Structure 1
């Protein structure tokens, strides 16, 4: 079997609610999902989600190769783009192609990917995550009530600007989850918006009214020493890593003992998720994949990870023209039996391409100019500054 070509496609996901974090949100709730379809000489096509960046150049490293050689092709792509392939959006292009290769490999074997990877159970334990910073109390209640009805007993909220506001929201969600369990877990994601003294004060204040299971990305992703000092100062576990790309970027966190829960983003692909998990497992650390909406095939990898903790589950909706072979139930994902990675496309998507939709100046992922430059536990409104 040989790789012969590829097609780039965009579709969209309508979340039905505003989505985002402390760095901004998308009011419309409409976001892009880039897809790549890899073609082979035997007619088996693989579907990968991730990013389109760098794919024309990356394809030069894999054209004519056997797509089932997933580990070798991953390293060939890294080597072809060694100056920028270990970081940023090009790493997402590698992840998209890598996921497509795994899809082909599982389809050719006639197995669901989770089974091919060595998973024993089709169930992937998860936590609910609404990307919910723009939701009011009614919006939080609607989303987390439905997730609680589907068996979720853990949830992660976005926050980091106002400690009193965050405490109220966390307590609300904790009580909603408490309908199904005596020990609901709530987490807070600050999305790299604090400095160290501010993080300590903020978390200690929160802990006075609501217990956090973990605090996610409290400091910048590369601040290993700061994260280690924070670990020594607070009770909740420290989770980080979703924005780290090349495996070597985790090295400083591991060496500094700066992380309790190692995260990897689904957008970076299946091979990356597997390698990060092995590196964390060697240090007795659990892993928690995030962002299944951007690459749902990575949920298959979670079934085979000995140190898998929980996977982020964000939306009950699916992107336009996409069918996913799993159910959201029993507090996680229940994977199906179709051969491949569990992502298939309608003809309407294959025949055309939606425009690339993202958030613009209001975010998400637009860092505020005052982020990390405050000491208090209540920050100025986003974008506020001297007149």
Structure 2
């Protein structure tokens, strides 16, 4: 009896029978892949790329799902290689989000067939739960303090701090900024506390780097004075700084003992991180815009960062992110997986199953999804006493309610664009 080729199902029941690309906007836009085997076992994968959702939906529907029908749902590694190495055009957020959705859906199916929560197939628990950090922000210190207190009351034990800047009307990452709350029509359009607007083009905001560099240390001085030295504090610079500016900020924030300083400079040229590292001991986190393990090679080998920010959704799935994090562990670098609300509950659940199993977990970003989002996906994960835990249901522990999703059709929405206040030049945001 001949052995089936890799990717060909030995058992007809495990063949992939259907693949659906689901686009809905319950609070914000999500792209979800649903695979179903011959015997009716379903798996879900997240393919959301914020502001480019339809590009991924087309990539999946036109170029990926036709290749999956008839393949063995158990052949996760072979399918990953088939979609990545079998295509001439590799890497990039659209390609890797599509591969991630397939990979995650196949892991969901495999765990359901095994009758186990997914983390058990990844080696079992390494911890009780995944420490999560919340997003506190405010236009001024009073509002920021209220936001921090609110997050502490919710149970968060680590807080990301973002603040308005004097002289700037709206700052990305501050939930009370005008652009986070009001759309071009005047209607409320806060996007699960994410400043993206439902419109046919991005809103343009003003930016002043020197004002930011003067103001940020004052903010953290005030936060430490109010909340003490024990609370882990994080901050995101959103790629806005040059390497020397980033080095200055890291050094200026050293007295306030940050858990990490995130995305201090555009990450395309990884060599730039050397200059930052030379000048500050503030821990550095980077990588939410990275898509593959090759983006990290120099950063790991030269130990230029402390935390990996890539999400399952944008880095090729559970299979690929596990490789990245295993590589990071060699250099004592930990996970800090991207997890705002443009990662669907499917993507967050995948990150939690991985995070609870790996030895080098660091922290998990967590923004609570809207009620509408949770009504569509019905996640089983729980947030208690500062820790996120995946559900004990077989698979990922996330569903998909088609009828509820149909009530929330796709609507164009984009993150803002930054221009310098001084002369209107386009700037990294």
Taking structure 2 as the reference length, the TM-score comes to 0.73
2:213 counterpart residue number? 163
Taking structure 1 as the reference length, the TM-score comes to 0.80
CA deviations on 1:228-278 (whole Å, 9 max, x unpaired) are 221110120111112111211211222333212222223222222211111
- From 61, 77, 89, the equivalent of 1:71 is 77
Check the 8 A contact 1:292/1:299 in 2, yes or no: no
CA distance in 2, matches of 1:383, 1:343: 44
CA deviations on 1:318-354 (whole Å, 9 max, x unpaired) are 5151211011112121222111112112242465662
Tell me which structure has the larger Cα radius of gyration. 2
1:271 counterpart residue number? 319
1:56-135 aligned at under 5 Å gives the runs 56=61, 57-84=63-90, 86-120=91-125, 121=127, 123-130=129-136, 132=137
1:146 counterpart residue number? 150
Between 1:140-149 and 1:39-48, the stretch displaced more is: 140-149
CA deviations on 1:291-337 (whole Å, 9 max, x unpaired) are 26411122111111111111111225451512110111121212221
1:259 counterpart residue number? 305
Runs of at least 5 residues in structure 1 that lack an aligned partner in the other structure: 15-30, 371-379
Between 1:5-14 and 1:43-52, the stretch displaced more is: 5-14
Runs of at least 5 residues in structure 2 that lack an aligned partner in the other structure: 1-13, 49-55, 164-208
1:184 shift after superposition: 0.9
CA distance in 1, matches of 2:31, 2:142: 32
- When the two chains are superposed, the root-mean-square deviation of aligned CA atoms in Å is 2.7
1:8 counterpart residue number? 21
Check the 8 A contact 1:74/1:98 in 2, yes or no: yes
1:170-319 aligned at under 5 Å gives the runs 170-171=220-221, 174=224, 178=228, 183-207=230-254, 210-268=256-314, 269-291=317-339, 293=341, 294=343, 295-297=347-349, 298-315=351-368, 317-318=370-371, 319=373
1:357 shift after superposition: 4.0
1:80–1:347: structure 2 CA closer, same or farther, 3 Å change rule?
same
More strand by share: 1
Check the 8 A contact 2:19/2:68 in 1, yes or no: no
CA distance in 2, matches of 1:202, 1:253: 20
CA distance in 1, matches of 2:376, 2:216: 36
1:27 counterpart residue number? none
1:347–1:59: structure 2 CA closer, same or farther, 3 Å change rule?
closer
1:68–1:352: structure 2 CA closer, same or farther, 3 Å change rule?
farther
Confirm or deny that 1:355 pairs with 2:410.
yes
Counterpart secondary structure, 2:399: strand
